[in-house]
Amino acid sequence: MSEIPARLTVVTLGARDMPGLRRFYRALGWTETSSSGDGWAGFLLGGVLLSLYPVQELAAEAAGGAPAPSGWAGFTLACNVGAPEQVDAAFEAAVRAGATVVAEPVNRSWGGRSAYIADPEGNRWEIAWAPGARFDGRGSLTAFGD
pLDDT for the residue numbered 1: 56
pLDDT in tens, 86-102: 999 999 999 999 999 99
- pTM here is 0.85
Q: Which secondary-structure segment (H or E) carries 27?
A: helix 18-27
CB-CB neighbours of 66 under 10 Å: 9
Work out the percent of the chain whose per-residue pLDDT is above 70.
Answer: 97
Average pLDDT estimate for 119-132:
93
- The domains found in the chain, sorted by start residue, are 1-63 (3.10.180.10), 76-136 (3.10.180.10)
pLDDT of residue 130: 93
CA–CA dist 110, 112 (Å, integer): 6
Would you state the pLDDT for residue 97? 97
pLDDT at 15 exceeding the cut of 80: yes
